[in-house]
Structure 1
């Protein structure tokens, strides 16, 4: 998940609340999953703050369950189990089951067992792994070796290959954003916006019946947008090759890796924005479409009704909509 910093304030301690403004919008910002999260809602302040508090509590719990690096997380314990079954939380089981469904739907172009290859890369420090190391890591990539099941009320997970490693970073934010959505609805909010590090959920509408206008990120330039979409009850996610990247010896590297080679996927696409009813669909499909490239990606999008709209920005700056 992408990193975000805030001047001199530890991320886990940062909390900023503002509003209600003249339109009645209450806003709260905090950090979790190494990224910035913004919650906005049109409702009375007390209802908003109670709902936002529940979301923050959920965020801390999910971080403890899903992190690949926290040693006592469910994901870390499954990775360290040497092929043995591990009891996991119900939420972890739900996330893994959803993730495996996307692995199957993408014919393996999205694979949650890429952890062995992902951990070899450090694009922030321009660390590029050797081909020998990647070949060894890719030998342990196969989502079909992950099992998730329930036994007597206990949820269990297992990786058949003791040297394989799960990394849910490519889909967890979408699942979490959908969970946050359900929490806010349960707390009585109807008209709200969630921005979880670029995973945007727009629920309901603005006062007077206007839709939320969601900026479509330009994957080539941080902070820039290529347009805006009016959205009600939907999520938008942009995946781009320039989100995390580096150049070494004149060669460009990005963070979306091929399960076949462990190297960055070869694609004519700089980024893809997907609009879907659920944020997990928007996130899961955006990465798949980017890896497929424009022609195959457009064909894939047309065959998947969960994709409301897909906007491709090619590396030569063309914008193509499904």
Structure 2
């Protein structure tokens, strides 16, 4: 655990691998023991959620749902039922750009450097044949989940980390702290103030220069989630293909390099960041501008910067190279 001391309040941070991702939990307190206790409580909550939603754990309720695809409905905890129900609402909102049944996608795209040629169109079409959120059948009275077709799977890779960050921060905020922050590999949510008693200041990185921050955002009890195509990709015949795949078509998405969603809820921001990436600039902005209290910042493959209506920058829709931005929400 690292410690940064500024005046009376101290920033305590712990970094560890959870849910297959890098989690960073920070607690602000005058009491080191209380801060450590809060961080440990947040970690325990993330581990609990991982056991519930992990498809890798053969004993999880999620695995039980998958095992019984096309066979029978499975009774699940109310918590998991509600998460799936919220996921389906986002699928409907985005026209299937977000879909937890993406997990049944056959692996035809590989991003380990070994892929040298394009898969044929029939192979790609077959890879997404089992993806259809409308075939996830919920029964609220019996609290059951049923995957209608054999071979269907569900996964929470595009919403699970945000949900876990929400839940961990909720527990930490009820403890003896003045501020807390949970960062789940880019799914970030804050509460209270930083060690200086100010709003948390979050840097958004340049997709082309990962070590450089191109914009700063001051947040207070807000989530910021960024999705990017700059870490996993494959190049075939000089064309670069992102690891973010449209679940409706089976093809990698094009046009955007980075999408950041800003809203009070990390779970929703997590799902919408993926959705906007899939929808693309125009449809993505159209969606976000319809949603109250949610803002978006995106960078195109041409390094142009665009924002939703209520997110203001001092200099927008220009190449981001060699510019710094201070982001403001609202008027």
* Equivalent of residue 235 in structure 1, options 210, 220, 223: 223
Question: 2:305 and 2:177 mapped to 1: Cα distance?
Answer: 35
Which residue of structure 2 aligns with residue 22 of structure 1?
A: 6
Which residue of structure 2 aligns with residue 54 of structure 1?
A: 41
* Equivalent of residue 185 in structure 2, options 197, 200, 216: 197
Structure 1: any 5+ residue segments left out of the alignment? Answer: 1-16
Which residue of structure 2 aligns with residue 64 of structure 1?
A: 51
CA drift at 1:221: 3.5
- Contact 1:52-1:184 within 8 A present in 2 as well: yes
Question: 1:171 and 1:142 mapped to 2: Cα distance?
Answer: 17
Question: 1:53 and 1:293 mapped to 2: Cα distance?
Answer: 39
* Equivalent of residue 142 in structure 1, options 97, 109, 132: 132
Query: Could you list the per-position Cα deviations for residues 226-248 of structure 1 after superposition, in whole angstroms to 9, with x for gaps in the alignment?
Result: 21101101010111122321213
Question: 2:106 and 2:293 mapped to 1: Cα distance?
Answer: 28
Which residue of structure 1 aligns with residue 148 of structure 2?
A: 160
**Residues 195 and 244 (structure 1), Cα distance of their counterparts in 2 relative to 1, 3 Å cut:** same
Q: State whether structure 2 residue 99 is matched by structure 1 residue 115.
A: no
Q: State whether structure 2 residue 298 is matched by structure 1 residue 321.
A: no
* Stretch of structure 1 that moved more, 121-130 or 27-36: 121-130
- Contact 2:6-2:195 within 8 A present in 1 as well: no
CA drift at 1:311: 0.9
Q: State whether structure 2 residue 171 is matched by structure 1 residue 187.
A: no
Query: Could you list the per-position Cα deviations for residues 289-312 of structure 1 after superposition, in whole angstroms to 9, with x for gaps in the alignment?
Result: 2222222222221111131x2111
* Stretch of structure 1 that moved more, 312-321 or 124-133: 124-133
Q: State whether structure 2 residue 293 is matched by structure 1 residue 306.
A: yes
Which residue of structure 2 aligns with residue 7 of structure 1?
A: none
Q: Paired residues, what number?
A: 302
* Equivalent of residue 41 in structure 1, options 11, 27, 40: 27
CA drift at 1:68: 2.6
Aligned to 1:189, the other structure's residue is in SS state: coil
* Equivalent of residue 213 in structure 1, options 201, 207, 212: 201
Q: State whether structure 2 residue 264 is matched by structure 1 residue 277.
A: yes
Which residue of structure 1 aligns with residue 237 of structure 2?
A: 249
Question: 2:288 and 2:59 mapped to 1: Cα distance?
Answer: 38
**Residues 184 and 85 (structure 1), Cα distance of their counterparts in 2 relative to 1, 3 Å cut:** same
- Contact 2:11-2:195 within 8 A present in 1 as well: no
* Stretch of structure 1 that moved more, 181-190 or 122-131: 122-131
> How high is the TM-score relative to the length of structure 1?
0.86
